[in-house]
C-alpha cells in the first residue's frame, strides 16, 4: 500500500471482511502485488486508533522457523500507510526512509500486530513510528518518513 489508490496498473480497493477470524477488519487486495504475496495484512480502527495485524504462517518463516525479517519489514511498511492514512488524505506517497530494530520474533500461528503514531505531518513529508508485537512482546520498533508525491499522468 503506498497511500494512493492506483499503482502502476493495479487498483487498490478497500475490502471489509464480514466472516471468520478477520470479521470487522479491512484489507486492500490487488493494491500492492508484493503485499498480496506476503500477506494478507489487515487493519481496523478501534478506540485506540489504527491497528494492523496478520496471522503468521509457514510462508512467513525463515530457515530457523521464526518470523522472517523481510516479512516483518514488509508488514511494517504496510502499517506506515495505515497509521498515516488520516494525514495523507489519499495523496500518493512513498516510503522515503525506514529504520527498524528487530527485538523479538513470532512463530507459526501467532498473531502479529502493530500500532503506531504520526510524529509530525508536514506539507510534503510525514514522520511515523510504530511497534510490532506478538503475544504482547515486541518484535520490531520502527520509524519512517513518507514522502507525498504528485500523481504522474
List the CATH number of the domain containing 74.
3.10.129.10
Whether 59 is in a domain gets the answer yes
Rounded average pLDDT over 25-51:
91
pLDDT tens digits, residue range 59-73? 999 999 999 999 999
Whether 1 is in a domain gets the answer no
What is the pLDDT at residue 67?
97
Whether 98 is in a domain gets the answer yes
Which residues have CB under 8 Å from 53's CB, separation 6+?
25, 41, 42, 43, 111, 112, 113, 114
Q: Is the pLDDT of residue 76 over 80?
A: yes
pLDDT tens digits, residue range 106-138? 999 999 999 999 999 999 999 999 999 999 999
Whether 80 is in a domain gets the answer yes
Residue 64: exposed, middle, or buried by beta-carbon count in 10 A (0-12, 13-18, 19+)?
exposed
The total number of structural domains that make up the chain: 1
The whole domain housing 27 covers: 6-149
75-to-18, 66, 102, 130, 140 alpha-carbon distances in Å? 22, 15, 13, 11, 10
List, as own/partner pairs, every contact residues 16-22 make where C-beta atoms lie below 8 angstroms and the sequence separation is at least 24, other chains included: 17/42, 21/55
SS3 66: coil
Whether 50 is in a domain gets the answer yes
153 vs 85: which has the higher pLDDT? 85
The pLDDT confidence band at residue 153, using thresholds 50, 70 and 90, is low
Whether 66 is in a domain gets the answer yes
Amino acid at each position: 500500500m503506498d497511500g494512493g489508490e492506483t499503482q502502476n496498473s493495479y487498483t487498490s480497493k478497500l475490502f471489509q471482511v464480514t466472516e471468520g477470524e478477520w470479521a470487522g477488519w479491512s484489507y486492500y487486495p490487488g493494491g500492492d502485488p508484493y503485499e498480496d504475496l506476503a500477506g494478507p495484512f489487515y487493519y481496523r480502527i478501534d478506540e485506540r486508533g489504527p491497528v494492523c495485524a496478520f496471522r503468521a504462517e509457514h510462508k512467513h518463516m525463515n530457515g530457523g522457523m521464526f518470523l522472517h525479517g523481510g516479512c516483518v519489514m514488509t508488514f511494517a511498511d504496510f502499517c506506515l500507510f495505515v497509521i498515516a492514512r488520516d494525514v495523507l488524505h489519499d495523496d500518493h506517497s512513498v516510503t522515503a526512509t525506514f529504520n527498524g530494530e528487530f527485538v523479538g520474533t513470532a512463530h507459526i500461528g501467532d498473531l502479529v500486530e502493530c500500532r503506531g503514531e504520526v510524529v509530525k505531518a508536514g506539507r510534503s513529508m510525514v514522520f511515523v513510528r510504530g511497534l510490532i508485537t506478538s503475544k504482547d512482546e515486541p518484535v520490531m520498533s520502527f520509524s519512517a518518513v513518507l514522502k507525498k508525491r504528485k500523481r504522474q499522468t
